[in-house]
Structure 1
Amino acid sequence: MSTPRTSPWPLVALFTAGCLAPYLLPTLVGRLDSGLPLSATQAGAVGSALLLSSAAAGFLFASRVDRIGARRLARVGLALAAIGYGGAALTGAVPAVVLGALLGGFGSGTLTAVAATRIATQPDPHRASALGLLGVSGLAGLLYLTLPHLGPGHGRPLLALALTALAVWPLTGRLPAPAAAAPVPRRQRARRQRPGRLRPCSGLVLVSVMPCWSLVQNSLWGVSGRIGLTQAHLTEAAVGVVFAVALGAALLGVLGARALGPRLGRALPIGAGTALIAGCVALSASATGPTTFAIGQIAWNTVYPVVMSYVIGLAASLAPCGRWAVLVGSAASLGTAAGPLTGSLLAARAGFPVMGVVLAVVLLLAAVPMTAVALRAAGRPLLPDAVRRRGVGVRVVEATPDAPPVPARSAFETVG
């Protein structure tokens, strides 16, 4: 029995509510540092814990959405997000804030799992993913412009997350209930169980490198707010404007990756693109003025989605069953969760410029094996699927001889 399709708009709303926390990570970490008796490193650790909780929910529910029911699971996620983030916003006790962040992060990851799973059933998954990205980028950009004018304190961004969850609740009535189990023909069951043609060496190399690649991106993202405020000497409102423009540039990067497709192969976008990201990371971290900071942030957010879409396409090409793509996405999620704490530790011990150099070197070293895998895999089909920004994870639909062709798609989906 085929999975019933859902109108894309409830999924876009769920996607927005689930991915908003990682997008607001710089201001969340910065406000925890300034509004609570926490050091910069401790605030980064809370951000990492939030993302790790979100990633854990994604891993737990990714294959269980239809069995539990998208409607039921989405409401659980919205309730956890509203209670967790709302409770953390209304208290100044550090243990309660940490517990609320963990609870809210788990809710965000649950929402992202529901949205990603249901988006894969849409007639045009790329369109639904792009709409979700547009929603979360637009809302995050609006909040970056608005929050500085609402006063200081850690509660404002957390309350915004809770209110977003509550606003999405009415749309969950249009999501499907648990799907009834249907018998699967023996031939189809055997086809699903077949592992496919794996490329262990290439796959293991990519899985081992991706945590470092993803960690660099989120190490910088987690401390970007503090770089803008303390080193580039911007006001909080100005930093918000830069982030809003950078999020718009990220959307252009997604559309650019979609337009380029396989024309440049995989090795050139992955290798040269990662090297370009390394330069943007070093530039952003060493910025001592508004112009340099803005250029570094906007350029980085433009190139990142292009490279990421090709990485996911490369992982998907290593095995028709999608096994390596799932493992690569999981490995990237681990790097994402560790990013804020790593960035805070490096910045506290060595300063922002040295942190940028260290992260850039790690990226350049990671680019070598990634490019080698891309060169070895040259000639196999490019199958990019949904890519999650800031909490990176992947869902790949297995291609079978009897299934209609799946349109290539590469759009960021933020988890926490």
Structure 2
Amino acid sequence: MSPRPRAAWPLVAVFTAGYLAAYLLPTVVGRLSVHLGLGPARAGLVGSALLLSSAVAGFTLAGRVESFGPRRAARTGLVLAAAGYGCAALADSVPLVVAGAMVGGLGSGTATAVAAAGIAARQDPHRTSSLGLLSVSATAGALYLTIPHLGGGHRLPFASIALVALLVWPATARLGGATRGGTAAPVARPLPHRRSGMVLAGGMLVWSMAQNALWGVSGRIGTVQVGLSEVTVGAVFAAALGAGLLGVSGAGVLGGRLGRAVPVGLGTVVIAASIVLSSSAGDLGSFATGEILWNTFYPVVLSYLIGLAASLDVRGRWAVLAGSASSVGVACGPVLGSVLSERTGYPVMGLLLGSLTLLVAVPFTAVALHTGGRPLLPGAVRRRGGAPAALLAASSGAVPGPVPELGAPEQAVAEISPPALRAGRPDRDAFRTAGPSAGAAQSLSGTP
């Protein structure tokens, strides 16, 4: 972002405020069902409305954060989140709770868009996004351990999200203002890998919908089917979120050693088995094993899917489209899980979702094998902001010449021989003759 924040923590804070509602979705849906007298399907519909509202805000602000100004956009999102979720916490009427949840969802989506834009512009976006994931997982885990002891019905989860939004407000002072002046219009180019990209985007919609269908009813599976207390279920969710952090760390360590097809295909199979195990659980051991195993592999597969989408187009268009499709799936997941569980029961729901996940694994693996993907190697484009800068330059048309692909070997820097140095200054004619030609020759020959 311009100007870039002096530290990563403001973006991490805004990231946490934006993602927290999705992480607390099981307890929100479960408490709406119990304390407001909503059926499972209607409670899941409220959760889906919240997430869909958040996705709409993200679509609207995509590519426009700079023009509005990160500080102003973040503060607007936090105000909407605090007001919306606060009203939902205070309301006893179902229509008011739904309206408050949707306004809060707009705020969450706005904060998420600001955080995503800021993280992408940093020199080390992976480290910042990892810090954000760590922060939101730790916050959600702490709330899962705390909320069951305090009661309060649906009020406490909504009030917790609103309070976090207010606590994050001071961090927005470290974000930049609006950028004056426009950028060059992007050069219109056809989308590469159209078939593979469409298959991947459609698959991510279905995959995300299946994952969040289970996540949206996991709380009710633990309390209704397994017979656990809300305190125990909260402890299981906290452990599962911790396992998710281990999964993200493992994916970072593994990197591209196995390619993308093996982690995506094998990981999706494990996820499908975990869904079946969790939804058919009859005791604490099987329920906890399914939830923890599922939350361990879910972020691993997701990280490789995002990398695969990014590799299909250097300008990131397929990454945006696939991410948008995934957001729609996330929003539709809770209502799907609630409807299936209400009409078929939790075990049958798990079988259906597991089978759907297995079916999606086939096109995912095929796309990974067919395209191969461009390797996203750290340091491939190291200068002037690294890979994010190259992607931004390609998408905005700010660079007149060709932009190196993400993961492409970095162009060698030609060395100037000592005779060409005169009084500590390079001879321009010698540099013009030897520098670029030598660099081009080394680049064409593949010399590192």
Could you state the TM-score of these two structures normalised by the residue count of structure 2? 0.84
1:116-168 alpha-carbon deviations (Å, 9 max, x no partner):
10111112111111111111000100000000111141100000011111111
Report the counterpart of residue 273 of structure 1 in structure 2: 267
- Equivalent residue number for residue 257 of structure 1: 251
User: For residue 347 of structure 1, what is the aligned residue in structure 2?
Assistant: 341
Deviations 1:280-339 (A, max 9, x none): 000000001001000000000000111111111111111222111111111111111000
Per the alignment, residue 390 of structure 1 pairs with none
- Superposition deviation, residue 194 in structure 1: 4.4
How much does 1:382 deviate?
3.8
Contact 2:223 2:230 in 1 (8 A): yes
Give the root-mean-square deviation of aligned CA atoms: 2.0
Q: Please state how far the C-alpha of 1:219 moved relative to its aligned partner.
A: 0.2
Equivalent position of 1:181 in the other structure: 181
Structure 2 stretches lacking a partner, 5+ long: 379-388, 395-400, 409-448
How far apart are the structure 2 equivalents of 1:203 and 1:22? Answer: 26
1:224 — aligned with what?
A: 218
In the alignment, residue 23 of structure 2 is paired with which amino acid?
Y
Q: Please show how residues 74-113 of structure 1 align to structure 2 within 5 Å.
A: 74-113=74-113
Verify the 8 A CA contact 2:312 2:373 in the aligned structure 1: no
Correspondent of 1:245 among 209, 230, 239: 239
- Note the alpha carbon deviations across 1:257-283, whole angstroms, 9 max, x for none: 111111101111111111110000000
Once residues 212 and 57 of structure 1 are traced to their aligned partners in structure 2, the CA distance between those partners, rounded to angstroms, is: 21
Structure ranking higher on relative contact order (CA contacts 8 Å, 6+ apart): 1
Matched, 1:37 2:31: no
Cα displacement string for residues 64-106 of structure 1 (whole angstroms, at most 9, x for unaligned residues): 1110011111111111011100011011011100000000010
Structure 1 counterpart of 2:228, one-letter code: L
* Cα 1:113–1:373 shift into 2, 3 Å: same
Cα distance, 1:150–1:396 mapped onto 2, change above 3 Å: farther
Would you say the 8 A contact 1:322–1:396 is kept in 2? Answer: no
1:346-385 aligned at under 5 Å gives the runs 346-378=340-372, 380-382=374-376
Q: Secondary structure at the match of 2:342?
A: helix
CA separation of 1:203 and 1:405: change in aligned 2, threshold 3 A: closer
C-alpha spacing 1:183/1:156, structure 2 compared with 1 (3 Å) = closer
Alpha-carbon distance in 2 for matches of 1:298, 1:399:
40
* Counterpart in the other structure of 2:228: 234
TM-score, structure 1 normalization: 0.90
Aligned pair count reads 391
- Name the residue aligned to 2:4: 5
Q: Which residue of 2 aligns with 1:284?
A: 278
Find the structure with the greater CA-based Rg: 2
Counterparts of 1:284 and 1:261, CA distance in 2: 28
The residue aligned with 1:70 is: 70
User: Helix, strand or coil: the match of 2:276?
Assistant: helix
1:144 — aligned with what? 144
- Counterparts of 2:183 and 2:288, CA distance in 1: 56
* C-alpha distance in structure 2 between counterparts of 1:145 and 1:202, whole Å: 42
| Amino acid in structure 2 at the alignment position of 1:275 | V
Deviation at 1:381, TM superposition (A): 2.0
Aligned identity (percent) is: 58
1:37 positional shift: 2.5
8 Å Cα contact 1:76/1:107 also seen in 2 = yes
| Whole-angstrom distance in 2 between the partners of 1:197 and 1:45 | 35
Q: By how many angstroms is 1:197 displaced?
A: 6.0
Q: Within 2, Cα distance between the matches of 1:241 and 1:377? A: 41
Q: In the alignment, is the contact (CA less than 8 A) between 1:21 and 1:108 conserved in 2?
A: yes
Of 289-298 and 371-380, the range deviating more from structure 2:
371-380
Partner of 2:114: 114
